[in-house]
Structure 1
Amino acid sequence: MFRLLLPALLFATTPAAFAADMLPADPVLRTLMEGDAALAGGNAAQLMDTAQVLKALGATPAEGQDDLAALWTQEAQTRGVTRSTLAFRGRALGPAYRRGSLVAGGSFTMRQLFLAGQRAQISIAPAGGAGGAGLSIRVQGADGATLCAKAVGGPQADCAWLPVFTERYDIVIENGGSAPAGFYLIVR
């Protein structure tokens, strides 16, 4: 009897384990994707929880972007969820996130100031379940030298370095694919 149940149990847990492996390792990227899934699935309680986690992580929207934690909280409350928000005092400069999309062959460039002697990290993940086919990230210093260039071949791609001088860096996201691609970008 036990021999029959063990393979069935392993088979039943494999899809969930596989789905977890498909999410990015970065907690902010993972939370953004879980929030989108909760919104798309109409799960208001999960949407509220995800909004609270995003706030607790200290992530804020990049300039000109919507505050997803506030939007998700409002949507969850509209759907009847009345839990109070978490009391949390985070870092003054937490990670900033951006959600965007690129047409086939399109590119997006932003300049970001990073401080000398403080670890800089940029993470990107495909959004909307469209996959990252064709997405890539490139970071260039003020002198035009490329510090990092990676394709988004999995659930997430990261570029990290320790700036020697305080200066602005160009972050370039490109879609070399034949279809539009959505993405999440986290800048720390």
Structure 2
Amino acid sequence: MIRLLLSGLLLVAGPAAPAADMLPADPVLRTLMEGEVAQGDGDHAALLDTAQILKALGATPAEGQDDLAALWTQEAQDHGVTRSALGFRGRALGPAYRRGSLGAGDSVTVRQLFFAGQRAQISVAPARGAANLSMRVQGADGNTLCAKPIGGVQVDCAWLPLFTDRYDIVIENGGSVPAAFYLVVR
């Protein structure tokens, strides 16, 4: 009887945030997704926590992108949430993130410099249930290093560049509706 009651309560309550297994494994992508959920739910305390975690991870916005940590901190403070900063120090060269959206059939290309002998990694996660996205990484010579559909919670491409060079990161929306995504470049 108690087990039945508990099961019923859990069904009625429902999860406040996406289940842990439905979030990306990458800590920056995970934090971006959790921030979007907190913002959508109007949970300003969680939004401030998420902003502070994003800063602690050393993630910075890609050129021309909004600083979500600063925006989320300001939004939380505008709603009366204040806390002391987390006691972490960021890394000198942390990951860069970008939030983007594409219309049906559209694509975007981001050029990124990667250093020889240093591991390069690109992670992409669909935002809020976006579907039909794919990513492709191409070297300066036009050869494709990695091409994957973005069907789950996170897709990664990682390699070790032999030479310092610029690479093209292409995100495509093959669907018939607009789709949003998060991109993290390490």
TM over 0.5: yes
CA 1:7–1:156: 2 relative to 1, 3 Å = farther
Cross-structure match for 2:78: 78
Paired residue for 1:149, among 122, 147, 150?
Answer: 147
CA 1:141–1:10: 2 relative to 1, 3 Å = farther
Of residues 136-145 and 4-13 in structure 1, the stretch that sits farther from structure 2 once superposed is: 4-13
Shift of 1:130: 3.1
Task: Output the CA distance in 2 between the equivalents of 1:10 and 1:25.
Answer: 30
CA-to-partner distance for each residue in 1:145-173, whole Å, 9 max, x for gaps? 10000000101111001111111100000
What number of residue pairs does the alignment pair up?
A: 183
Task: Output the CA distance in 1 between the equivalents of 2:57 and 2:129.
Answer: 25
State the SS of the aligned residue for 1:178.
Answer: coil
Cross-structure match for 2:63: 63
Letter in 1 for 2:154: Q
Letter in 1 for 2:85: T
Cross-structure match for 1:162: 160
Task: Output the CA distance in 2 between the equivalents of 1:149 and 1:32.
Answer: 23
Letter in 1 for 2:118: Q
State the SS of the aligned residue for 2:3.
Answer: helix
Cross-structure match for 2:31: 31
Task: Output the CA distance in 1 between the equivalents of 2:87 and 2:63.
Answer: 24
CA 1:11–1:139: 2 relative to 1, 3 Å = farther
Seq. identity, % = 74
Task: Output the CA distance in 2 between the equivalents of 1:23 and 1:35.
Answer: 12
Moved over 4 A (4+): 6-11, 15-18
Shift of 1:134: 1.2
Over the residues paired in the alignment, what is the CA RMSD in angstroms?
Answer: 2.0
CA 1:176–1:149: 2 relative to 1, 3 Å = same
Task: Output the CA distance in 1 between the equivalents of 2:78 and 2:26.
Answer: 29
Shift of 1:87: 3.6
Shift of 1:69: 0.4
Task: Output the CA distance in 1 between the equivalents of 2:98 and 2:63.
Answer: 9
Shift of 1:90: 1.8
Cross-structure match for 2:174: 176
CA-to-partner distance for each residue in 1:15-43, whole Å, 9 max, x for gaps? 65972211111111111111111111111
Shift of 1:88: 2.7
1:98 matches 2:98:
yes
| Structure 2 spans left out of the alignment, 5+ residues | none
Cross-structure match for 2:129: 130
CA 1:45–1:18: 2 relative to 1, 3 Å = closer
Task: Output the CA distance in 1 between the equivalents of 2:8 and 2:141.
Answer: 53
State the SS of the aligned residue for 1:105.
Answer: coil
Task: Output the CA distance in 2 between the equivalents of 1:178 and 1:134.
Answer: 9
User: Is this contact kept in 1: 2:57–2:91, CA < 8 A?
Assistant: no
TM-score with structure 1 length normalisation? 0.90
1:107 matches 2:127:
no
